[in-house]
Chains A and B, each alone.
Chain A
């Protein structure tokens, strides 16, 4: 998680949900509370410790625990696999820690663990150790899972936002907002038909395919805060500008409809199987290869790095240009 430059000091005395949003408030919390004490070697999602070994850790909380397209178990594997993968590393091992609320059904736990096993097999990683704690009824919301991932960087791979140059193309591997729409539909009983599915998936295979087919500068999985937050982090770190073409951004019609209804923006919505990549040079071969891959069928170049503007801008489909700002907190649904 990069530093958010130029932000005001934290004025909050207590933690609010906004501090967990992945947006500006989260950055401030990391900067002023965690990093101030830990003096972290990096604020990135992963860190290389030795011999090209990369580690990451990620806590998973989701409501509902089972949702169309996945569950908290699958998410706890794919989320961590993806964090490792975005460094360019090949994920190998996972460790998982469970916090379970008293009264949680063992049959549900079995379902969750089975789906972790399936997701790990699909991603080619091994779950090698773990821990279990049970807390009193009412002290947790069902189940929380923290997974730690270990992977290894192939020789010659070094991805960093510092490598990004003007003219680099920005690619996403498919439709945005699918996970959030699936969760909102399940949580709010919107009864959308067909039922929207989460895009929850491991992207390690896709990443290795991308590294073989193009000069990749930087990768990031577009989870909390969505694509717009990642783009803002990049422009803050690099002083470059980005222009996104609205018409090129792949978004399902159902997602657009839900967003219109609830006043949300798919560019800020969480995905669980989507990455943003910054790519140098010709991208047509890369896109063609990505489209052959299960999790890359709707891959698209959505914009370009530029020195024409500072910050992130969206060229709207009617030709207007508007800034895509860093959100400070979770987006709020609108009244009407």
Chain B
């Protein structure tokens, strides 16, 4: 199957035409940052009728990483920090890792957590363990591998986040008003589409697991519209070419072996119960929080930034008073402006 099939212009036009006749105003949340990017990249909002609005959810892993994680790392001495690239420009309260690097901190951007093991053979190294279910298994596997190799110089700062509990918390707080979810494709490869059953069962809201090509997203939207028309909210899987109902069991086993469910601090949202993962006792020698005595606490400075409301889908980025005025990609006040997947950065880039 060639990806270009999912960019078929005639099919796109057909679905767009069908959607154009939809009259009842609805709001769908795309949870995943890559969806936010893809929607902007393809100009999909401009193809939809005014009645269908898309809002971004809390699915940019960089955006929801608390300042205290970045600040803890900046304070380290004689330790190498390995991180996914897009975290380096996220401001904590003490600046960014990129600025700290210019001041002498050894910060390395890696594509895979496994690269960190090479660095750790030579130098004391911390890997910044951010991300959702998509990236978590690779990091958990890296910890298993570090254990197998009996590495002394390697640890992970666990700041992992889980999607289903976050959606549960968002909807339970009742201040998010959405009619359906475009559910994350890659997260679902790991956890499976069944993981979202609480949405229709507990909240009577449907969702469609969706891929990232234009047809994927448009078909996802069409399925959500169909659910609303029939008043039958359910979980559907549009991305069946890679997502199964039960997910990747092997990856789930790796997570289960190394990590355990804990409460997690989300930047902009605060503490959410059982929405993160910490490192199990058996692997605690690789836990940077224990190794360096980090304290992950809510230390966000009050800047007027409304990223929290953006992450909850309560407002769209231009409704924040800082957006595009003082908060810019080169001067991000809030985390949603930093990562290219962040809702504010994507809006600034694609939707102005």
Residues in A lying within 8 Å of B, measured CB to CB: 8, 11-12, 14-18, 24-25, 188, 262-263, 316-323, 325, 327-329, 331-336
Given contacts A17-B98, A262-B111, contact A332 B89 (CB under 8 A): yes
**Are A11 and B85 within 8 A (Cβ)?**
no
Query: Quick one: closest A residue to B60, CB to CB?
Result: A335
Alpha-carbon distance A18/B109, docked complex (angstroms):
14
Q: Which residues of A contact B41 (CB under 8 A)?
A: 316, 322
Q: How many residues of B contact A (CB 8 A)?
A: 45
State in angstroms the CA–CA spacing of A15 and B101 once bound together.
10
Which chain B positions have C-beta within 8 A of A188? 111
Q: Give the CA-CA distance A328 to B47 in the complex, in Å.
A: 29
In angstroms, Cα B98 to Cα A334, docked, is: 15
Q: What is the CB-to-nearest-CB distance from B84 to chain A, in angstroms, rounded to a whole number? A: 4
What would be 29 A-B contacts, judged by CB atoms less than 8 Å apart?
A14-B99, A16-B98, A17-B101, A17-B102, A25-B330, A317-B7, A318-B12, A318-B42, A319-B12, A320-B42, A321-B43, A322-B40, A322-B41, A322-B43, A325-B348, A325-B349, A327-B329, A328-B329, A328-B330, A332-B88, A332-B89, A332-B339, A333-B84, A334-B34, A334-B340, A335-B131, A335-B339, A335-B341, A336-B61
Most interface-central of B37, B61, B330 (chain A CB within 10 A)? B330
Which chain B positions have C-beta within 8 A of A323? 349-350, 352
Nearest 10 A-B pairs (CB), nearest first? A320-B43, A328-B330, A333-B85, A335-B84, A332-B85, A332-B86, A336-B134, A16-B102, A14-B102, A322-B43
From the candidates A263, A322, A328, name the one contacting B350 in the complex (CB within 8 A): A322
Q: B98 contacts A335, CB within 8 Å?
A: no
The answer for the CA separation of A321 and B42 in the assembled complex, in Å, is 8
Which B residues between 28 and 45 are near A, CB-CB below 8 angstroms? 34, 37, 40-44
Interface assignment of B246: CB less than 8 Å from any CB of chain A: no
Mask: chain B, 96-119; 1 = CB below 8 Å from A; 0 = not: 001101110000010100000000
**Is B135 at the interface (CB under 8 A from chain A)?**
yes
Please determine whether A18 and B47 come into contact, CB atoms closer than 8 angstroms.
no
Inter-subunit contact B331/A318 (CB<8 Å)? no
Besides A8-B330, A16-B102, A18-B98, 7 new A-B residue pairs in contact (Cβ under 8 A), listed by A number: A12-B99, A15-B102, A16-B98, A328-B328, A332-B86, A332-B88, A335-B86
B132: A residues at CB distance < 8 A: 336
B186 contacts A by Cβ under 8 Å: yes
Pick the contact of A336 from B34, B43, B331 — CB < 8 Å?
B34
A333 partner, pick from B12, B109, B214, beta carbons under 8 A: B109
Smallest CB gap from B96: residue in A: A16
Contacting residue for A319 out of B47, B87, B101, CB 8 A:
B47
A283 to B350: give the CA distance in the assembly, Å.
31
B9 within 8 A of A: yes
Whether a CB of chain A sits under 8 angstroms from the CB of B62 is: yes
CB-defined contacts of B330 to chain A, threshold 8 Å: 8, 24-25, 328-329
